[in-house]
Amino acid sequence: MARRILATWGLAAAGALAVGFAALAQTAPGGQPTSASNPAIAAPAERVPTDIRRTTIIVRDMEASLRLYRDALGLRVNYDAPMTVSGPAFTQNGPPRPIRLVLLNANDPWIGWIGLIQYTDRPNRPRRAVPRELGPGSHIMVLAVADAQGMCARAAAVPGVNMVVPPKISEYPPRTPGAPPIRVLGCQFFDPDGAYLELNQSLPPAG
């Protein structure tokens, strides 16, 4: 049963997958991301057959990770339960193993969730060295936020977070020729387990 549940939830067993480039999203009044104001990213006339449902991260210390994802980034816990998992990716071809699974959501009730898994049958492993650079196989999780300065500061204060790029304004080429550049304020950091995150706040055009 647990295997079937985890397969349905689309588990990513080794780290964080990109959940979308929020740097290129628009922002509605109140700071909530929207695509309705930009025809270039409006809903398609026909739905594609896939939703990016959730990114799941294997963590060493659940409570330490919750201090980042729940407390600093403001995601809401909607599921927290022990269960047993099987399969070679989880058990290294051994017997089923117990885990704790926590699911958190942002504003959408269905997509864009984050899952956290901690093995509970052994003490926490020593923390691996934080990667120094990104390359093939690396994942970047991008979150759209309404207050990048405040949220980046809260994230930086979480033990184990390695802030790589402090808050700064970046510009991206526009989708439509002749339109002003897309401007975002954001920061980038490694979480306590080495997952790479980017927080972005959409800004109005310069001038």
Per-residue pLDDT tens digits for 49-97:
998 999 999 999 999 999 999 999 999 999 999 999 998 888 888 899 9
CATH code, 92? 3.10.180.10
Is residue 35 pLDDT above 50, yes or no?
no
Question: The pTM is what?
Answer: 0.78
Give alpha helix (H) positions in 52-147.
62-66, 88-91
Domain span at residue 197?
A: 2-36+51-125+136-203
Per-residue pLDDT tens digits for 162-205:
999 999 999 999 888 889 999 999 999 999 999 999 999 999 98
Give the pLDDT of residue 24: 37
Residue 45 lies in a domain: no
- Domain count across the chain: 1
Residue 188 lies in a domain: yes
Residue 42 lies in a domain: no
Residues 6+ apart with CB under 8 A from 13: 56, 58, 89, 90, 117
pLDDT tier at 207, thresholds 50, 70, 90: confident
